[in-house]
Chains A and B, each alone.
Chain A
Amino acid sequence: MIRIENISQRYRYNGRESATILSDINLTIPEGQFVCLLGPSGCGKTTLLNLVAGFIKPSRGRILFNDARVTGPGPERGVVFQDATLFPWLTVRQNVEFGLRQRGLNNNDRTKTATEYLHLVGMALHANAYPHTLSGGMRQRIAIARVLALEPQALLMDEPFSSLDVNSREHLQDELLRVWDAHRRTLLYVTHSVEEAVYLADRVIIMGPAPKSIYGDMILSLKRPRKRLSAEFHDIIASLRTSLDALPCCIKPSEKKSDRIL
């Protein structure tokens, strides 16, 4: 369970002025729920995800994960980034083994587990390839395998398929649902695509610009597997679109490049 309590987040520009990205966010995400954070770019979806991941510290408020306060990143909250961010100096298998190695698994177990998860995402044949030889969709599959191998209690995904072509995106959405369905882990998924949110989520949270950051919170009771072409599906998309269109425009915050987390 993820609990977000009174979270506010400010960014500093040039060390002086500051902009409020998130203000007074309260959310509870129960175990096993698939939640999409939906909203235009610049409204703080990624910031909220980074807070839950522990990559950044909140200006105010706190985040609890299974009743323990989040103070930094950790393998119980696996993150899939917008870019796969596989380590280019490691092979596909070594990339998946990275987290297992940190856990102190021996060589044999590592290889076995990694192969298993590569199988799960259909990439076992490419275990010995280097990431630069693979397509964007393949890399993102490996990024998912790498995170699943951590056996996290929650998955955090930041627009993971947004840079892929439509065909691979829909494929990967289906595979993600299949994997999620097998374990029912809590899944927090950032997207700006209404279709994607409606296709994937149990619950959609609509975010807009501060000072009121959450504009809507909606449970989708559409049965799975969902049909992308059904009338119901389109009705929900249309109603979500209407509420999104009503939002004022967001200003893109420039996350400082020099922000180091070390």
Chain B
Amino acid sequence: MGRSILKNLIPVLIFMLLWQTIALMVTAVKGVPFPTPWQTGVKLGSLLGGQFLSDHTLYRHILDSLARWLFGFGIAAIAGIGYGLAAGWSRPFEDATYKILHILQLIPGLAWIPVAILIFGIGETATIFMIAMTAFTPVAINVLSGVKRLDTTFVRAALMMGAGRKALFLQVLLPGSLPAILSGLRIGLGNGWRVLVAAEMIVGTGTGLGYSIIQARWTLDYASAFACLGVICAIGLVFEQFIFNPLEQRTIERWALDRDA
């Protein structure tokens, strides 16, 4: 137990050390105040204590970002899983649409900004649209390949035992592609999070962590910007560690698949 704590602590320490070094070097060489880990920590403390950041508390920014993220991601997850299952089920549908998916995959998340603004104008909806677009492709691609990779013998076994189309779908394809669905969701969630922060910076939402970072930059409040970065990392870690890792662990164990299969 003690060892594993130490093992987890070492990269953090190395990171802090690097950060500290860079901060001191930048401050010394360029003469601009680069926030050190300590300064950032103090700032984070006072923000958590209720200090306002671009007219709102940090909590408001976090909640607004989370809400946009989960909303956009929810749309992407439903659409992506639906698409993947449908395309895995019907070969003609897959053939007709798969190329589009590949093109979508090539578009970097931020490139959706003009599209988002043209369709939805500046604000909330545009941000959600961007998150949904970037999270959709990994989910769709993963689910589709999961359904297709499902062993033919599973399908044959089910048909041999008298499964109809509905049972085949609900009792075999859906549970059978669960590991692929989970890993698609994980990638989609990560992509969505990254584009959320960037989208808030540009699309101008008035609240949110990304918005706060860019505002803090205008006011030269770099410590706050860094504090927001820290919060963003922390939220990502929480989702990874406490939601996806345990879920994946369970399915991988039961499905008896290993990570690189």
The interface of chain A, by Cβ under 8 A from chain B, is 53, 55, 72-75, 77-79, 81, 83, 85, 87-89, 98-99, 101-103, 130-132, 146-147, 150, 259-262
How near does chain B come to A88, taking the closest CB pair, in angstroms?
5
How long is the Cα–Cα vector from A72 to B91 in the complex, in angstroms?
19
Q: Is the CB of A75 within 8 A of B156?
A: no
Ordered by A's residue number, 17 sampled pairs between the chains whose C-beta atoms are within 8 Å are A53-B156, A55-B160, A73-B159, A83-B153, A85-B157, A88-B254, A89-B178, A89-B254, A99-B162, A101-B171, A102-B161, A102-B167, A150-B162, A259-B152, A260-B148, A260-B152, A261-B152
- Chain B residue at smallest Cβ distance from A259: B152
Q: Which residues of B contact A74 (CB under 8 A)?
A: 159-160, 162
How long is the Cα–Cα vector from A85 to B178 in the complex, in angstroms?
17
The interface of chain B, by Cβ under 8 A from chain A, is 89-91, 148, 151-164, 167, 171-172, 175-176, 178, 253-256
Q: Is the CB of B157 within 8 A of A75?
A: no
- Chain A residue at smallest Cβ distance from B257: A88
Q: Is the CB of A75 within 8 A of B255?
A: no
How near does chain B come to A186, taking the closest CB pair, in angstroms?
15
How near does chain B come to A226, taking the closest CB pair, in angstroms?
30
Q: Is the CB of B161 within 8 A of A81?
A: no
Q: Which residues of A contact B160 (CB under 8 A)?
A: 53, 55, 73-75, 77-79
Q: Which residues of B contact A262 (CB under 8 A)?
A: 89-91, 155
Q: Which residues of A contact B172 (CB under 8 A)?
A: 87
Known: A85-B151, A85-B157. A132 touches B256 (CB 8 A): yes
Q: Which residues of B contact A75 (CB under 8 A)?
A: 160-162
Most central of B89, B148, B254 by chain A CB within 10 Å: B254
How long is the Cα–Cα vector from A75 to B163 in the complex, in angstroms?
9
Q: Which residues of B contact A77 (CB under 8 A)?
A: 160
Partner of B154, one of A55, A87, A99: A87
How near does chain B come to A22, taking the closest CB pair, in angstroms?
19
Q: Which residues of B contact A53 (CB under 8 A)?
A: 156, 160
Q: Which residues of B contact A147 (CB under 8 A)?
A: 161
How near does chain A come to B118, taking the closest CB pair, in angstroms?
39
How near does chain B come to A103, taking the closest CB pair, in angstroms?
6
How long is the Cα–Cα vector from A130 to B155 in the complex, in angstroms?
19
Q: Is the CB of A150 within 8 A of B89?
A: no
How long is the Cα–Cα vector from A75 to B162 in the complex, in angstroms?
5
How long is the Cα–Cα vector from A259 to B154 in the complex, in angstroms?
14
Known: A79-B157, A132-B254. A89 touches B175 (CB 8 A): yes
